[in-house]
Every structure is written in C-alpha cells, then in structure tokens.
Structure 1
Amino acid sequence: MTARSKWLLIAALALVALVAVGGVAAYAWVQYQARASAPSGVETGGASGWGTSDSIVFRNTAIGQGYGLVASVPLGEPAGPRALTSTACDRVDATPTEFVCLRSERGIVPSYTGTVYGLDGQTIAQWPIPGVPSRTRFSPDGSLVATTAFVTGHSYATVGFSTETLIRRANGDSIGNLEQFALIIDGAQVAPVDRNLWGVTFVDDNVFYATAGTGGKTYLVKGDIAARTLTSVAEGVECPSLSPDGTRIAFKRVTAGTDATTHWTPAVLDLGSGAISLLPEDRSIDDQIEWLDDSTILYGMPRDGVAGDSDVWRLAADGSGAPAVFIEHAWSPSVVRAR
C-alpha cells in the first residue's frame, strides 16, 4: 500500500468515526427531546414553598414535559404535586435562597457547567467543569459550594477513573482544587500520582469531609480549608454525608465485586466510636446520600428498564426498617429547611 493510499484510508476511517459519533449524539438528543416533550408522568404545578417552608428540592426524572428540571415539594408532602423551575440540571443542591446546578450541555461536542442560581432563576455565578457531573454540596450557611466531575467521562466503577473536585465561594470565586491540598494518611503526608478526591460534605465554612482514593483503597478524609490539608479518618468510605447533628457519616461501602461489578451498600459511621453499621439494602447504591433528618437517609435509585428515570428512596439510619420509595421519578434530593 502506497503512502497516499494509507493516508486516504486513515482519512476515510476518521470520517466514519466522526459520522458515528455524530449519529450517537443525534440519537441521544432525539431520545432526550422525546422524554422532555411527552405528557408528564407526574402531577406538576404545585405551589413552591421553597425558601419559606421546609422542602425537598430534586431533579425531576418523570418522563415528559418538565423532564430534567429542578423541582420541589413540601417536606411533609413528598408525593404531592411538584413545583417545577425552568432550569435543567444533572445534579442539584439547594439552600433557602439559592441552588447549584451541574449540567451537561448535549451536542456533538458536549460541554459541562456548574451554576449557582437565585430562587428567581437569575444566574449568580457560572464556571466550566471538566467532565460528566458527579456530586455537589453547599456548606451549611450557603457560602461555599463543592463540585465533583469525572475528568474523562468515567464513572466510579471504571478502572483508572479520574475526578476533579473544587471548592468555590457561592459567587464563583475558586478556593482550590482538592488535589492541591496536602494529603495525610495514617499520620504521614503522601503525594501519590493516582489520588482522586470526591464527594465533599461540609461541617462549616472551613471544615469538611470527602473521599480520597489511592492505591486501590478509599479513605474518609477530614479537610481544613485554612490549613489546606486532608487527613485520613477511616478506610473504606465513599461519598460521605454528614448527619444534621454532626455525629455520623452516611456513605456507600464496597461490599462485593470490583471495578464495573462493584456493589455498594449504604452504611453509617459513628464519628465518636468509629463503629460502622451496614444498612439493610440489597441493591447497589451509587449516590451521595442525603439525610432527611437525624434518623433517616435518602438516596437515588435508577428505575429498572426505564432509561433516565429514577426514584428517591428512604431508609432508617439505624437499620431498623426496610427501604421505601420517598419520591417517585426523582434524583439528587436536597433537604431545605427554612431559616
């Protein structure tokens, strides 16, 4: 084969690949439009008390009009009509005065953003994120926001996945990438090239917990923004979530499998004693847990056989009951207490 023939073959293969990628993107867009334009599968139009009364804010995953939009229901009426915003998000967290939205912008070349909105829908701050949205959390007073994204579009079950986790002020100003913080494991400072940080949960506007992954292990680390340090607290903890009373961490724990076959079970760590309790959930949970109150946790579960749809489930944090659906057709729940 001549050099010219080789280049023609390479060009032809590149064109085929480009057409294939474009076709996949176009198909995904058509599917998304179909999900978003059909009649909604849930009752919408509820009055939003978000900001003035206790609420649950979440991503609406009911197929049909309003699909993907940020929604809210009263805390005491989770099955009631949901109030929809006009903002579409993949992950959301909220306070009584604002919400943070991680979004994938579909297209032949997708892009990803993090945005803080006021309750009126006006943009307060926006910044690019490097890949598929994964986790986001506000600090208790709403002054800080943490975001995690997959740098290469991987997932936690992918070999060699890479994440970027940053903490910003709510106005968008960056405080730093957690990979730039000093990592201290078992009392010694380390700087492994394979480290990943994800799943921030705040104690206040300086201290937080997160997951550090390195050498095939995961650690719960306690972060100090002022000191720019991450110090290991426990091993085998992923996607931590601090309880409202500040005494426990709910998280997902690997209980079977590896890589693409990983099975995560919800668990609770008592920060005082170090005791870990696995909770009675047989399905694999790939979510950052939210606390409904000091006795109950919430998490999202995809619906079997329904692409893009999910439910929010509830489970007693002491393991005393079975999982139950809390909000149908929902994802990324955020409990918002009126101040």
Structure 2
Amino acid sequence: MTFGILSTALLTGAGLCVVVAVNRASARAEAPPEVAVTRVAALEGAPRVVFRNTEVGSRYGLVSMVSLADPRGPRAFTDVPCDRVYASAGTTSCLRTKRGLATTFEAVELDADWRAVESWGLPGIPSRTRVSADGRLLATTSFVTGHTYMQVGFSTATDIREVGGRDLGNLEAFALVVDGRRVRPADRNIWGVTFARDDDTFYATVATGGTTYLARGDLSARTLTTLHEGAECPSLSPDGSRIAFKHDVGGTTPHWQIVVLDLASGRESTLGGEKRNVDDQVEWLDDDTLLYGLPRDGEAGVSDIWQIKTTAGAAPSIFIEQAWSPSIVRS
C-alpha cells in the first residue's frame, strides 16, 4: 500500500472514530435522567444535601439536592451548572468553567432562590470552595498553573470574601508563622479553607519548602500559623473539636488517605477502612461521619459520594450515586 493510500485510510478511520465518539457523547448527553426526580421546592426548608449531579445526560453538572433523611431518594435539579459547589445558610458558592473561544473561570455567589448575586473571575481552574456555617464568608481555591495537586510545580490562588461585602484578599498576602517563627517564603501555596463558627478563625493547607501544613488562620489579624505537618484540604467537624484531612502515603505518586486530627490532644486517627485514593476535601455529615467524592472506574466524568464513620475499622459505603461536591444544609 502506498504512503498516500495508507495516510488516507488512517485519516478516514480516525474520522470515523471521531464521528462515532461524538454521536455516542451526544446520545448520552441527550439521554433523560435515570434517577427519580422531584421539585426543588419540595426539598427546600428541610435538611438536605446539595451537590453537583454527575449522572450522564441532559442535567450533568447541575446543582442538585436530595433529602438528608433519604439521600438515595428523589433528587431535585436547579438550572445552575457548577464544577464545585457549596451551600450554607442561604448562600451558595459555585465555581465553574466557561468554555468558548477562550476558556475562562468564574465564581458565582447565589442566594436562597438560586439567583446570581455577584460573580467574579478566577485566575485558574476551579478546585475548592467553602461557605461559613452562617453564610457570611465564602472561600475559593483555583489552580493558577497545573491541573491537579499531583503535578509538580502547581500554583494556587485562595481568597476569602464577605458575602455581599468586601473581598478580604488572597491568603498569600497574610503573614505566615511556621514553627513559631515569622517567615516570608517565595514558594508558599495555600488551599482548602474550612471555617470555624466565630467568623474569624479558619483552617487551610499551607505548602512551603516541600512540606504541607495544617494552618490556623485569623482574619482580623491576617495571619496564618502552622499547627501540624502533612495535612491537606482540612475540614472542621461541626462541634469544632476535630479536623479531617487527606494525607499523602504514596511514594513517587501521591496516594491520599483520610486522617482525623483531635485538635485538643493532637492525636491522629487514619481511616484505614478506605484504601482508595481520596483526592477531595471531605465534608462532615455529622460529628461521627465523613463524606467524600470518588470517580468511577471506567466511567469518565461520573463520580459518587461515599461515607465513612470516624471510628476505628469503619468501612466505606455509598451515600449518593452519581454525585460530587456535597454540602449539608440543615434548614
């Protein structure tokens, strides 16, 4: 076979593969949802779980919710697409990618009726977001360079804002105290905020000098003080006594396990019942149970929310199928 004929055959075959892939993707995107559906109004005002729907179909990526009492029951869909979402006390933070001739990224603050109150650009790919328990503070993290925490040389931007008020700025501008000493490293990265209930204290990951730390932040003093090594993406328990985070136990390739730290004693507990790589900022279902997202093997873009008790030897189980980025809303 001549080179010209071979090239034509290869290009034709590649073209057919693309057409088949596009047709399959279109058919999946247009498929009706398989999950049971209810109205948003039927779930609002009662305890519920707000999350990103990952069921492949016409509602993929929309902010959704289910009853907290029946998390595997009917789900309600908003018309708001998000890559990451977090809701609390009538405020929702939505981070998303805007695709077009030039791809951009934005954060949107939504009110209790799912209306956009304010939006602003993000400098990179959406990664993490949290809203304080009273809905007054909002934090966002985006990747400025790199695509995941598994890449060497990634850079993040993390900001805290007052809902409906001031932008409190990038946390890299806060004074940093490492091991009791004020430092000014050029290589600092900060991500994964979790808020305490006083609207002044927060916790976050700080990475500098090749080490990651759990740090306590003080908004009024504009300081970050390291507390504990090896902690990433912290999440403060509802009673404020413990922090769950992911800890890298891998070698050349990161592999994260869930660890729970008792703040008073400094004692760590690794949740060894979950052996898979949990690359997520966990959410507390209650003071004894954690939620986190895991991608499905062999199903691109589909993920499930899992749960695990914080007691020794606990095993994980499915909490909500075809879902991602959960938050617990109790009223």
Residue pairs, 1:143-158, within 5 angstroms:
143-158=136-151
CA deviation after TM superposition for structure 1 residue 95, in Å = 1.6
Match of 2:15 in 1: none
Mapped pair 1:291 → 2:284: yes
Say which of 316, 319, 325 aligns to 1:323.
Answer: 316
Structure-2 change in CA distance of 1:28 and 1:252 (3 Å): farther
Question: What pairs with 1:173-188 in structure 2 (closer than 5 Å)?
Answer: 173-188=166-181
Q: Which residue does the alignment assign to 2:240?
A: 246
Is structure 2 residue 224 aligned with structure 1 residue 224?
no
Q: Does residue 170 of structure 1 match 2:180?
A: no
> Structure 2 CA distance, aligned partners of 1:327 and 1:146?
25
Q: Give the C-alpha shift of residue 226 in structure 1.
A: 0.5
CA distance in 1, matches of 2:139, 2:54: 23
The residue aligned with 1:334 is 327
Q: CA deviation at 1:229?
A: 0.2
Matched to 1:197, the amino acid is I
Q: TM-score, normalised by structure 2?
A: 0.90
Matches within 5 A, 1:198-217: 198-203=191-196, 204-217=198-211
In 1, the alpha carbon distance for the partners of 2:162 and 2:26 equals 34
Q: Across the two proteins, how many residue pairs are aligned to each other?
A: 311
Measure how far apart 1:39 and its partner are.
1.8
The amino acid across from 1:94 in the alignment is A
Helix, strand or coil: the match of 2:29?
Answer: helix
User: Which residues of structure 1 form unaligned runs of 5+?
Assistant: 1-26
- Structure 2 equivalent of residue 273 of structure 1: 265
SS of 2:60 mapped into structure 1: coil
Structure 1, residues 186-228: CA drift from partner, whole Å, max 9, x if none? Answer: 0001111111000000003111000000111100000001100
Q: Which moved more, 1:30-39 or 1:176-185?
A: 30-39
The residue type equivalent to 2:65 in the other structure is: S
Question: In 2, distance between residues paired with 1:85 and 1:262?
Answer: 35
User: Do the aligned residues in 2 keep the contact of 1:46 with 1:73 (CA within 8 Å)?
Assistant: no
Q: Distance in 1 between matches of 2:143 and 2:27?
A: 27
Alignment partner of 1:308 is 2:328: no
Q: Given the superposition, is the C-alpha separation of residues 88 and 34 from structure 1 closer, same or farther in structure 2, using an over 3 Å criterion?
A: farther
Report how far residue 35 of structure 1 moved: 4.6
> Which amino acid is the alignment partner of residue 335 of structure 1?
I
> Partner of 2:311: helix, strand, or coil?
coil
Letter in 2 for 1:213: A
Q: 1:29 to 1:264 in 2, by over 3 A?
A: farther
Deviates more, 1:233-242 or 1:100-109: 100-109
Structure 1 residues 47 and 29: alpha-carbon distance in aligned structure 2, compared to 1, 3 A threshold? same
Amino acid at match of 1:156: Y
Distance 1:137 1:32, change over 3 A: farther
Matched, 1:92 2:85: yes
Amino acid at match of 1:262: P
Counterparts of 1:226 and 1:31, CA distance in 2: 53
How far apart are residue 34 of structure 1 and its match? 5.3
Q: Give the Cα–Cα distance (whole angstroms) in 2 for the partners of residues 138 and 76 of structure 1.
A: 22
* Structure 2: tracts of 5 or more residues without a match: 1-19
Instruction: Give the whole-Å Cα distance in 1 for the aligned partners of 2:260 and 2:33.
Output: 36
Cα RMSD over matched residues?
Answer: 2.0
Contact 2:89 2:134 in 1 (8 A): no
What is residue 58 of structure 1 aligned with on the other side?
Answer: 51
From the superposition, tell whether residues 336 and 197 of structure 1 become closer, same or farther in structure 2 (CA, over 3 Å). same
Comparing 201-210 with 119-128, which one deviates more in the overlay? Answer: 119-128
Deviations along 1:74-120, one digit per CA (max 9) or x if unpaired, are 10100111000000000000024121100011234211000011132
Identity of aligned residues (%): 54
TM value normalised by structure 1: 0.88
Name the SS of the counterpart of 1:256 in structure 2. Answer: coil
The corresponding residue for 2:14 is none
Cα distance, 1:30–1:134 mapped onto 2, change above 3 Å: farther
Q: Is the CA contact (8 Å cut-off) linking 1:252 and 1:264 kept in structure 2? A: yes
- Partners of 2:64 and 2:26 in 1: CA distance: 19
Distance in 1, Cα, partners of 2:153 & 2:180: 26
Letter in 1 for 2:185: P
Return closer, same or farther for 1:336/1:290 CA change in 2, 3 Å cut-off.
same
Match of 1:76 among 65, 69, 78: 69
